[in-house]
């Protein structure tokens, strides 16, 4: 490892990142408190236990002093001293017994709340439209459900109840100390802010160091994840050594940040303990004066009791300092989670939305549609076309010309900024999402398979579909052979990184899934992955079967698809530049001919 305590510079913070701490806010605390409403009985028992423990500890300190001050100072018979000591022991046992229950209840309450919160965030995310995911980094979405919800859990489970116990303990100890000796209590109170300030300064430094550790660790894990995901590219580019060196550097950095944080921690603990001990030492000196020199001397037993109580008063200062830091982190986490929950989807089904009939003809009309992902940046301008029922419309054009955007608008992933899109004459804006997804299916270019068996992937096309529907779909696509070819037939495990299903097989499984859904309108972004000639032929045949008797909108990459299309839309800079069948367009000697020549050459 390089220079162990060298200053580290490599962790640069994301400028868009939200602050990892926020000031305490009454509205957030009230909302967090509201999350406990379904568990009100548990919460109330917990509050009672908190109150009890806050009284128990000062009471314990007082009882020890009382035994010293009473039976021991008065040289009472041994039996009386033993009985009094057993009383103290019983009180101590009772104190610890309630602690077990308090901790268990707090744990259950925190877990219940975070479970509910994660469920709400997940359901909310499911409703968010594509525009939200286009703008939000995946890592952010994940951390809302993981670390932010967890910060809320810690806030409720630990911070809230531990702080209440500690604050109660301080108040209890102060009340008894005031009863014993008010001037001596003033000495204790005067020292408290000093202890608080030293603790805060040290803790802030530690928190920064700890944050660097977390961020450098995130980099290490993100790099591992990415390395696994793109291992083929790495090997193809022979970048193994370069990547290994970058990774080594990241782990060295992480180790250095860890050492830095450990160094701060190693300094903080002894310093905080020393501050506490110095404070208690001062109480002892002033107390000795009060019990020996002062005109109205304090009994030694009272001084011992007072000294114990001062310890009980000082120790929460450090604990509360820690809890305060955690509370600020919980506030930041809660604020982010609530902000997400409060962000309404940019659009939802209109209250007046109607369903498409169960049987639709499949006429698709795109009328004067213009669209901008970001206001003012038009990516589609005044696009109009009609796909008659059972027609195939192919979209071609240069990269970035707007083909995928048209497909996304027809699937209603986004709403047109201007113009309208109709199915059988009904504006999709006024239709229910459920009926649109019944009528329109999308096969994206990536041929995404979920984690699970091939069978599960195929029947995912329609709720209630069975194995025989899956087999029937494969038969209709003339792909029954696939069941034999897959190592474990329909039970073969697939998934984003399954590796047991080839690229061609993936495409056919996606076709079968779409066939099970049986939509009237199909949107297909043709996969561009190279497959062998036999597989290509099989895919072509299956595709022909899939598109039969359906209206289809195909972002076409295969010449065979383009040639058979009823209509080809040639896109250029967000507009339809040319429109017609293959032969007609070739004759126009325009953009299409140009594209075609480049395509076949």
Ligand X SMILES: Nc1ncnc2c1ncn2[C@@H]1O[C@H](COP(=O)(O)OP(=O)(O)OP(=O)(O)O)[C@@H](O)[C@H]1O
Question: Which residue lies nearer to ligand X by CB, 310 or 379?
Answer: 379
| One character per residue 377-396, x = contact with ligand X (rule: CB under 6 A) | --x-----------------
CB under 6 A: which stretch of 81-89, 156-164, 212-220, 398-406 binds ligand X? 398-406
CB under 6 A: which stretch of 188-196, 284-292, 399-407, 544-552 binds ligand X? 399-407
Element (H, E) at 386: strand 378-387
Question: Which residue lies nearer to ligand X by CB, 101 or 373?
Answer: 373
d(CA 257, CA 280): 35
Question: Which residue lies nearer to ligand X by CB, 405 or 435?
Answer: 405
Question: Which residue lies nearer to ligand X by CB, 139 or 400?
Answer: 400
Question: Which residue lies nearer to ligand X by CB, 188 or 383?
Answer: 383
Question: Which residue lies nearer to ligand X by CB, 459 or 556?
Answer: 556
Number of residues that bind ligand X (CB under 6 A): 12
Residue 561 near ligand X by CB under 6 A: no
CB under 6 A: which stretch of 68-76, 281-289, 372-380, 503-511 binds ligand X? 372-380
Residue 134 near ligand X by CB under 6 A: yes
> In this structure, what token pair is assigned to residue 223?
């790099």
Asked if 440 contacts 488 with a C-beta cutoff of 8 angstroms, the reply is: no
Question: Which residue lies nearer to ligand X by CB, 557 or 582?
Answer: 557
d(CA 465, CA 485): 23
CB of 452 to ligand X, least distance (A): 28
| One character per residue 402-421, x = contact with ligand X (rule: CB under 6 A) | xxxx----------------
CB of 202 to ligand X, least distance (A): 46
Asked if 478 contacts 510 with a C-beta cutoff of 8 angstroms, the reply is: no
d(CA 340, CA 334): 10
CB of 520 to ligand X, least distance (A): 24
Angle at CA 81, nearest 5°, toward 78 and 84?
A: 150
CB of 134 to ligand X, least distance (A): 4
DSSP string across 394-442 = EEEESTTSSHHHHHHHHTTSS--SEEEEEETTEEGGGB-HHHHHHHEEE
In three state form, how does the secondary structure of 439-466 look?
HEEEECCCCCCCCEEHHHHHHCCCCCCC
Candidates 399, 468, 533, 601; binder of ligand X (CB under 6 A) is 399
d(CA 70, CA 305): 12
**Beta carbons within 8 Å of 331's beta carbon, 6+ residues apart:** 21, 22, 23, 24, 25, 28, 155
In three state form, how does the secondary structure of 346-383 look?
CCCCCCCCECCCCCCCCCEEEEEEEEECCCCCEEEEEE
CB of 399 to ligand X, least distance (A): 3
Asked if 67 contacts 84 with a C-beta cutoff of 8 angstroms, the reply is: yes
Question: Which residue lies nearer to ligand X by CB, 264 or 412?
Answer: 412
CB under 6 A: which stretch of 64-72, 88-96, 373-381, 500-508 binds ligand X? 373-381
Candidates 266, 281, 344, 400; binder of ligand X (CB under 6 A) is 400
Strand, helix or coil at 78? helix
Strand, helix or coil at 582? helix
Asked if 530 contacts 507 with a C-beta cutoff of 8 angstroms, the reply is: no
Element (H, E) at 54: helix 40-67
Question: Which residue lies nearer to ligand X by CB, 129 or 311?
Answer: 129
CB of 337 to ligand X, least distance (A): 25
Element (H, E) at 384: strand 378-387
Candidates 65, 301, 397, 416; binder of ligand X (CB under 6 A) is 397
Asked if 460 contacts 450 with a C-beta cutoff of 8 angstroms, the reply is: yes
Candidates 305, 401, 493, 507; binder of ligand X (CB under 6 A) is 401
Question: Which residue lies nearer to ligand X by CB, 110 or 397?
Answer: 397
Question: Which residue lies nearer to ligand X by CB, 121 or 395?
Answer: 395
Q: Which of residues 418-457 bind ligand X (CB under 6 A)?
A: none
Asked if 250 contacts 223 with a C-beta cutoff of 8 angstroms, the reply is: yes
CB count, 10 Å around CB of 51?
Answer: 14
CB of 373 to ligand X, least distance (A): 3
Residue 199 near ligand X by CB under 6 A: no
> In this structure, what token pair is assigned to residue 483?
């069941």
CB under 6 A: which stretch of 2-10, 25-33, 271-279, 397-405 binds ligand X? 397-405
Taking CB atoms within 8 Å and a gap of at least 24, the contacts of 432-438 are 432/349, 432/353, 432/354, 432/355, 432/356, 433/349, 434/355, 435/355, 435/356, 436/356, 436/411, 436/412, 438/356, 438/519
Question: Which residue lies nearer to ligand X by CB, 150 or 526?
Answer: 526
DSSP string across 150-162 = HHHHHIIIIIIHH
CB under 6 A: which stretch of 51-59, 400-408, 453-461, 533-541 binds ligand X? 400-408
Question: Which residue lies nearer to ligand X by CB, 459 or 555?
Answer: 555
CB under 6 A: which stretch of 287-295, 401-409, 494-502, 531-539 binds ligand X? 401-409
| One character per residue 332-371, x = contact with ligand X (rule: CB under 6 A) | ----------------------------------------
CB of 347 to ligand X, least distance (A): 16
CB of 556 to ligand X, least distance (A): 11
Question: Which residue lies nearer to ligand X by CB, 165 or 380?
Answer: 380
CB of 143 to ligand X, least distance (A): 21
Residue 373 near ligand X by CB under 6 A: yes
Q: Which residues of 505-531 are buried (b: 16+ CB within 10 A; e: fewer)?
A: bbbbbbbbbbbbbebbbbbbbbbeeeb
The secondary structure of residue 333, as a DSSP letter, is H
Question: Which residue lies nearer to ligand X by CB, 261 or 405?
Answer: 405
d(CA 89, CA 69): 17
* Residues forming the site for ligand X (CB under 6 A): 134, 373-374, 379, 397, 399-405
């Amino acid at each position: 490892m390089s220079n162990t305590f060298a200053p580290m510079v490599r962790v640069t913070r994301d400028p868009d990142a939200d602050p990892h701490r926020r000031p305490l806010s009454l509205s957030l605390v009230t909302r967090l408190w509201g999350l406990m409403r379904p568990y009100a009985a548990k919460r109330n028992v917990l509050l009672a236990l908190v109150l009890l423990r806050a009284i128990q500890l000062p009471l314990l300190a007082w009882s020890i002093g009382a035994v010293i001050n009473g039976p021991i100072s008065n040289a009472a018979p041994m039996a009386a001293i033993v009985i009094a000591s057993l009383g103290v022991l019983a009180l101590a046992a009772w104190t610890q017994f309630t602690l077990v229950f308090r901790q268990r209840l707090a744990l259950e309450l925190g877990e219940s709340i975070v479970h509910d919160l994660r469920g709400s965030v997940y359901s909310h995310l499911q409703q968010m439209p594509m525009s939200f995911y286009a703008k939000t980094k995946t890592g952010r979405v994940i951390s809302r459900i993981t670390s932010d919800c967890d910060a809320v859990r810690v806030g409720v489970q630990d911070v809230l109840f531990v702080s209440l116990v500690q604050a109660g303990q301080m108040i209890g100890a102060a009340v008894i100390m005031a009863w014993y000796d008010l001037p001596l209590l003033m000495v204790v109170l005067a020292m408290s802010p000093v202890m608080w300030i030293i603790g805060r300064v040290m803790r802030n430094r530690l928190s920064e160091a700890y944050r660097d550790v977390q961020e450098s660790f995130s980099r290490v894990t993100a790099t591992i994840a990415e390395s696994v995901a793109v291992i083929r590219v790495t090997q193809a580019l022979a970048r193994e050594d370069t990547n290994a060196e970058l990774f080594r550097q990241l782990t060295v950095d992480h180790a250095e940040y860890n050492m830095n944080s450990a160094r701060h921690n190693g300094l903080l603990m002894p310093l905080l303990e020393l501050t506490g001990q110095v404070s208690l030492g001062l109480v002892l000196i002033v107390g000795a004066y009060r019990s020996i020199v002062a005109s109205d001397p304090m009994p030694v037993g009272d001084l011992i009791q007072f000294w114990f109580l001062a310890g009980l008063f000082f120790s929460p200062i450090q604990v509360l300092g820690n809890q305060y830091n955690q509370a600020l982190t919980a506030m930041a986490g809660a604020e982010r989670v609530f902000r997400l929950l409060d962000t309404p989807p940019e659009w939802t089904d209109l209250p007046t939305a109607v369903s498409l009939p169960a049987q639709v003809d499949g006429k698709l009309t795109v009328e004067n549609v213009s669209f901008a992902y970001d206001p003012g940046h038009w990516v589609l301008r005044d696009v109009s076309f009609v796909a008659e029922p059972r027609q195939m419309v192919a979209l071609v054009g240069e990269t970035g010309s707007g083909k995928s955007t048209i497909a996304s608008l027809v699937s209603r992933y986004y709403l047109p900024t201007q113009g309208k899109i109709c199915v059988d004459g009904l504006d999709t804006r006024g239709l229910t999402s459920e009926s649109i997804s019944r009528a329109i299916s999308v096969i994206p270019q990536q041929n995404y398979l979920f984690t699970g068996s091939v069978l599960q992937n195929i029947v995912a096309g329609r709720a209630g579909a069975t194995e025989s529907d899956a087999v029937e779909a494969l038969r209709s696509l003339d792909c029954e052979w696939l069941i034999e070819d897959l190592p474990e037939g329909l039970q073969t495990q697939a998934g984003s990184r399954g590796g047991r299903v080839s690229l061609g097989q993936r495409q056919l499984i996606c076709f079968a899934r779409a066939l099970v859904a049986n939509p009237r309108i199909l949107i297909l972004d043709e996969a561009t992955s190279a497959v062998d000639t036999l597989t290509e032929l099989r895919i072509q045949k299956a595709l022909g079967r899939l598109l039969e008797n359906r209206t289809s909108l195909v972002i076409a990459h295969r010449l065979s698809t383009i040639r058979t299309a009823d209509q080809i839309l040639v896109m250029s800079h967000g507009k339809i530049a040319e429109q017609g069948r293959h032969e007609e367009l070739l004759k126009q000697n325009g953009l299409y001919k140009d594209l075609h020549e480049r395509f076949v050459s």
